[in-house]
Each structure stands twice: as structure tokens, then as C-alpha cells.
Amino acid sequence: MRSGERRAIAEAATLLEALRPGARELVTALGDYLGQALVVGFTGPPGAGKSTLVNAVVAELRRRGQTVAVIAVDPSSPVSGGAILGDRVRMTAASGDNGVFVRSLASRGSLGGLSPAAVRVIDALDGAGFDVVLLETVGTGQSEIDVAEIADVRVVIAAPGLGDDIQAMKSGHLEIADIVVVNKADLPGASITRAQLEAALAMRVGGHGIPVLTTSALQGSGIAELVTAVDRVGKERLAAGVVARRRRRARYLIARAAADLVARRIKEGGPAVLDALADEVLAGAQTPEGAAGMLLTRL
């Protein structure tokens, strides 16, 4: 795996994704090799041209001599899932380049968002020695917040024509961006979308320094500028050190496991307790928040 054998890398990724026997031993064995890769998150709504942009970024990184692994997280939507996986398989087959590795993952898991499996697969690809790991997710609330916790550099992708109002961006999801991209810059309205995003960023604390770049993944324009911007932010973030980055992933996995554990305990142990509290809420004697505090105490 460390010598770049693709089958070994694929097996390691699967081992960690599925938490098969030996997964823990593999992470321990990888030890000092972990935390070296720059992890770059790409999020954006369906229709923003995310996959095409990520493919263009991969090509540019290769041109600069960097090895790249891509983790494409499937939004778990039953039908569109297949299409994304299909595209990915085609892309990988076409590339025939040992410096690129692509893995598609379903975002299963009871709590939605980025799956712990995806975070473990980062370890496999980081341990395999790729310079950059690109994490591509559909922007659906939780997955963006998760990417913000895990990635060193966060790229948020928008496109003209997806919505005539940028209000929603102010209410939260622009907050996680290190770099904002208006993709499909060849479409009409790109400059308006860019201006709206810049105005929204100007209202955000610390938002003035966030670049809004325009790209056309199809025409190949703006890609070099985007990769340079990612590189600049990445250099700052890598300075935080290997331990800090590995700790961040471990903290995330623990917090997710804790949330799953609470959900499971509520489901298994608490139906009678929960029904009694629900009746108190229905009677107006208790708020759901107050009842939640009592529930946690009792479980």
C-alpha cells in the first residue's frame, strides 16, 4: 500500500470503510504516515457542476506533480446515487493514472451527514501517501458542517441559475467557506451571482478575506487560480501540525459515535420513559428541551 499498489490501497480503504477485522491494526501500523495529506472539502448543491469541477482540479493538481485521492460522498438518495457512482467509475477507468485514486461512498448512517466511514477512508488514503485528498459532498446541511470539521480547506461551490435569491447563503452555509467558487461562469448571470456572494460575505465576520472565484470547469477557465488559492490556504493550515489534524478526525469520530449511542439508548432503553415525557409535553407541563434534559439524566 505504501509503495502505491492500487489493489492494496483499495483493500485498505474498504477495510476501514466497512470496519472489517484488522481495521484498527491497520490504523495503528500506519501511525506516523497519517496526517500528512492536505484534505480539501468541496461542497455545493446539486446542479453546481461539482463533479466536473473536482475532475478539473484533479487534472490541475496532477499537472503540478501532486498525487490526488478523491472521496465522493453519495447523498444517500436512492435514485440519484447510481448516477453519481456511474460517473465516477467512468472517470476512474478513463484516467489510467497511478497518481489518482477515486472512491465513491454512500453516506449511510442514522444521523445523515458525512459518514464516519468517509472519515476513516481519509485515513487510508492519507496513509497511502497521497499529497491531497479531495472530499466531495452534496451540500445538504449536515454534510457541509461535517466537512468543515474534517477538511483543512473548505471550498463552497455555487453556480448561476440555481436560484434567484442568495438570502439562504447568509443564514449559515457560507460560514464554513475558505474559498467560494461560482462555477459555470460561461452561463449568463455568473457576475450577478458573484456580486451577491461577495455582498453576503462582506456581512459575515471575517468574511472580507474570503475569495470568490469564477470557474468554468467545462471550458477549463479559472481552475489554475482555484488550485493556487487552495494551495495558499492549505499551506497555512498544514502549519497547524500533524497531531492537530489527526486529533480533529478522532474527535469527530468520537462525537459522532456519542450521538449514535444516545440515539440507540433512546430507541432501546427509553420507550416508556419517552412516552411519559411526551405526555408531559402534550399536557403543556414540560417543553421538549426540558424533557430532553430529564431523558438524558434518566437513561
- Footprint on residues 44-83 left by a copy of itself (CB under 8 A): 44-48, 74-83
Residue 45 CB contacts under 8 Å (≥ 6 apart), including other chains:
138, 139, 158, 162
214 sits near a copy of itself (criterion: CB under 8 A): no
Residue at 58: amino acid letter: V
Would you give the binding string for a copy of itself spanning residues 114-153, x where CB under 8 A is met? Answer: --x---------------------xxxxxx-x--------
- Number of residues located near a copy of itself, criterion CB under 8 A: 85
Nearest CB to a copy of itself, comparing residues 32 and 96 = 32
Would you give the binding string for a copy of itself spanning residues 1-40, x where CB under 8 A is met? Answer: -----------------------x--xx------------
Q: Which residues pair with 156 in a beta bridge?
A: 43, 180
Nearest CB to a copy of itself, comparing residues 54 and 201 = 201
From CA 151, how far away is CA 228, in angstroms rounded?
17
CB of residue 30 to a copy of itself, shortest distance in Å: 10
Q: Between residue 229 and residue 268, which ones bind a copy of itself under the rule CB under 8 A?
A: 243, 246-247, 250-251, 253-263, 266
164 sits near a copy of itself (criterion: CB under 8 A): yes
Nearest CB to a copy of itself, comparing residues 8 and 257 = 257
288 sits near a copy of itself (criterion: CB under 8 A): yes
Nearest CB to a copy of itself, comparing residues 162 and 238 = 162
Are the beta carbons of 233 and 132 closer than 8 angstroms? no
CA distances, 200 to each of 27, 44, 159, 196, 207 (Å) = 42, 16, 15, 6, 8
105 sits near a copy of itself (criterion: CB under 8 A): no
Rg of the chain (C-alpha set): 21
CB of residue 190 to a copy of itself, shortest distance in Å: 12
Are the beta carbons of 147 and 137 closer than 8 angstroms? yes
CB of residue 83 to a copy of itself, shortest distance in Å: 4
Sheet order of strands, 132-138 included: 100-106, 68-74, 132-138, 38-44, 153-158, 179-182, 212-214
Grid coordinates standing for 163? 436560484
